[in-house]
């Protein structure tokens, strides 16, 4: 392992990237952290393929060579090649529940997608309406296989995979953000964020995943810097890290701060651009 003794973990969307763009201030801030002895990496709701797309040319700067990467809301931890080090996967009963829920509430959803464990395969995107398959293929075809089928056939596909996260895209008229719910008849939670409804195992979250990565690298919690912006970041923002930063405009931060046990200790900045400037002050 390198001489670096600290670890910084960042959410991507809304934390280090704004509408898919990583400001130069963030790149410079992360490079500054490297000089200060930090290993840096990301903790995101995205799957590995979409994560690499989001970071683009900045991947090698943001993710240090020795780092592990937290993906799919903390349900999976992978190395820089996308190989899983840890995962909590749905069992058959849980897949049945996801399919039943989708079938019972089909009018709420536009799409569903899931990430194959083999990173050489594309993201699998299922369309509720066959009329939007072409549109979604044009939009997502560079990273996704887009298809439509009955929900029964979709369930068969889900059962053939090793999955830790299934995402349902809500229709535009449904506005639910920064909400997490637990089901009582199955070991799954759902996260409403970024116009999506995400199914995850209820014994997983980004906080537990950060703890795993820190122990893997033999780094104490006091030497952690954690930054996030949304409901799926709450557990990692609340693990007792040495530096905790909540990114986003005041109205967004107001929705997250009440979930934290020590909100008075959290640093706040208004945007990824400002977060990059903050990193350069450390």
Q: How far is CA 225 from CA 26, 33, 47, in A?
A: 14, 10, 22
Asked if the model's pLDDT at residue 155 lies above 70, the reply is: yes
- In the block, which residue shows the tokens 């749905």? 90
**Residue 198 and residue 77: Cα distance in Å, rounded?**
17
pLDDT score recorded for residue 2 = 44
Fold of the 92-201 domain: 3.30.1240
Tell me phi and psi for residue 219, to 5 degrees.
-115, 130
Residues with Cβ within 8 Å of 269's Cβ and at least 6 positions away in sequence, in order, are 245, 246, 247, 275, 277, 278
Do 217 and 1 contact (CB within 8 A), yes or no? yes
Give, as one character, the DSSP assignment of residue 128.
S
CA quadruple 50, 230, 16, 164: dihedral, nearest 10: -30
Torsion-angle region of 177 (φ positive above 0: left; ψ -120 to 50: alpha; else: beta): beta
Q: Kindly indicate the confidence band of residue 4, based on its pLDDT and cuts at 50, 70 and 90.
A: low
| DSSP-H helix ranges across 12-91 | 24-35, 48-55, 59-62
pLDDT score recorded for residue 185 = 85
6-87+204-279 belongs to CATH 3.40.50.1000: yes
Domain extent listing, the chain: 6-87+204-279, 92-201
Q: Among 161, 157, 230, which residue's Cα sits nearest to residue 193?
A: 230
The model's pLDDT over 87-145, given as tens digits with 9 standing for 90+, comes to 999 999 999 999 999 999 999 999 999 999 998 899 999 999 999 999 999 999 999 99
Q: Kindly indicate the confidence band of residue 37, based on its pLDDT and cuts at 50, 70 and 90.
A: very high
Mean pLDDT of the 13-26 span: 96
Q: Residues 157-171, buried b or exposed e (16+ Cβ, 10 A)? A: ebeebebbbbbbbbe
Asked if the model's pLDDT at residue 1 lies above 70, the reply is: no
Mean pLDDT of the 215-224 span: 95
Asked if the model's pLDDT at residue 241 lies above 80, the reply is: yes
| pTM: predicted TM-score of the whole model, two decimal places | 0.93
Mean residue pLDDT of the chain comes to: 95
């Amino acid at each position: 392992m390198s001489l670096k003794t600290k670890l910084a973990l960042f959410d991507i969307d809304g934390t280090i990237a704004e509408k898919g763009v990583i400001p130069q201030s963030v790149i410079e801030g992360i490079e500054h952290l490297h000089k200060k002895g930090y290993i840096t990496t990301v903790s995101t709701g995205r799957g590995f393929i979409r994560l690499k797309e989001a970071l683009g040319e900045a991947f090698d700067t943001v993710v240090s060579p020795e780092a592990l990467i937290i993906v799919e809301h903390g349900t999976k931890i992978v190395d820089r090649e996308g190989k899983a080090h840890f995962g909590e996967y749905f069992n058959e009963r849980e897949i049945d529940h996801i399919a039943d829920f989708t079938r019972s509430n089909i009018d709420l959803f536009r799409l569903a997608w899931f990430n194959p464990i083999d990173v050489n395969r594309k993201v699998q995107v299922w369309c509720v309406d066959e009329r939007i398959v072409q549109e979604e293929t044009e939009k997502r075809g560079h990273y996704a296989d887009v298809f439509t089928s009955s929900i029964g056939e979709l369930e068969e596909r889900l059962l053939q995979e090793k999955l830790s996260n299934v995402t349902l895209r809500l229709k535009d008229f449904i506005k639910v953000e920064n909400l997490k719910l637990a089901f009582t008849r199955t070991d799954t939670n759902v996260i409403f964020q970024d116009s999506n409804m995400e199914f995850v195992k209820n014994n997983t979250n980004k906080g537990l995943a950060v703890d795993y990565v820190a122990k893997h690298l033999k780094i104490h919690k006091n030497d952690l810097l954690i930054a996030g912006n949304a409901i799926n970041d709450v557990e990692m923002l609340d693990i007792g890290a040495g530096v905790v930063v909540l990114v986003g405009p005041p109205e967004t931060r107001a929705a997250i701060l009440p979930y934290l046990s020590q909100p008075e200790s959290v640093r706040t900045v208004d945007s990824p651009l400002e977060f990059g400037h903050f990193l350069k002050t450390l």
